[in-house]
Amino acid sequence: MKNNKLKGIKLFSNNDSRKQASGKTSTEFMSREIIGKVRKFHQSFPKYQPTPLHSLPKLANKINIKKIWVKDESFRLGLNAFKVLGGSYAIAFYLSCKLGIEIAELSFEALKTPEYKEKLGTITFVTATDGNHGRGVAWTARELDQKAVVFMPKGSSQFRVDNIKKENAEVIVTNEYYDETVKMAANFAAENNGVLIQDTAWEGYIEIPTWIMQGYSTLIDEVLEQMKMQGDLMPTHVFLQAGVGSLAAAIQGYLTTKFGDDRPLTVIIEPHNAACLFKSAQIGDTKPHAVGGSLATIMAGLACGKPNIIAWRVLRDYADFFISCSDGIAAKGMKILGNSLLNDPKIISGESGAVGLGLLVELLTNDSYRDLRKKMSLFKESRVLIFSTEGDTDPDHYRKIVWEGKHSFLG
């Protein structure tokens, strides 16, 4: 792997991502059969609809590439973020195991019936979150007439806290940062006969995080379905923001399983102060490595210091680029998406959701990054897929960035 450090952006090129080598991590956890079960379950939600896949032709023309797509997760089941897909599927899979019924034979509505509730009894689902994952777990628990206890790290947005409380969950805001808060949630679940539904994995805790990652596959499966319906060519690049890496690895695993060597180039994006995947790639000993400190970043959903070990192995073996960037890149993306060029759709994207678009525009419009563009094969014919993973999940902070220009510095 090679390192390039420039103002605002740090890049690692993974020279091993396309090499055929024995011992590479299997991506069969994203097999076609599994994806089919995930989609069938999500389609059983009464309010299920694929979220919009927007095209931004005016912006693509302005920055001199062929195509930009943005998958807009602000419309996901009224929860303003994608996370509910993973939490709901993991909870359903857990309940299917408890009932002894295949997940393919269970709908979301069936799990809500008195018959199944009587068999299952009352279960307390426990998680730690910066906001979106916890809300998805709490929403699912409430819908299924179960309980949820949600731990949140210090500094969590009060708006996000209140949204989780509205789902009838017990919310505990700790005096610790994210990774310590995860430990507290795990201890609470163990001591109180709860079920931990955590969107990261560590040694001894693998099964449920895998189900969560499988739940995320609905996003990319919808995208390819939508592209096919629109007669679009495949993307050449997929930009994937990462906290612990669960979403990024889920999509990477899907693309690798489905397309093999013909898959798009993947770009993994993290904030400078929480770039645990970038650090792991930089060290280059094949192991996951943590970053310490406060993990301070406006990208709350990406403020994670330890990689999901499943995600790390997938990204280590198959992701093409790892990027660490400043908060200003995310702020730039929020402003561009919210103030679109004529006839391009306006997209409300939160701090963690907008970093991919901000990065793409900065790379293609700042001549300081000419060499990076070349390394990443970002040329005139490039077609780039970006995931806006959340809307304005903290509206006050969103306005401070988009209206008042907070966090605009790109250095």
**Active site members:** 83, 130
- For strands 321-325 and 383-388, give the pairing: unpaired
**Bridge partners for 202 per DSSP:** 205
Cβ neighbours around 151 below 10 Å, total? 28
What tokens were used for 274? Answer: 């929480």
DSSP assignment of 206-254, as one string?
-HHHHHHHHHHHHHHHHHHHHHHHHTPPPPSEEEEE-SSSHHHHHHHHH
Instruction: Provide the edge-to-edge strand list for the sheet that holds 170-173.
Output: 170-173, 147-152, 124-128, 195-196
Contacts of 224 (CB under 8 A, 6+ apart): none
Could you tell me the two tokens for 313? Answer: 């192995």
Which among 198, 149, 199, 140 has a CA at the least distance from the CA of 174? 149
The whole-angstrom separation of Cα 199 and Cα 28 is 19
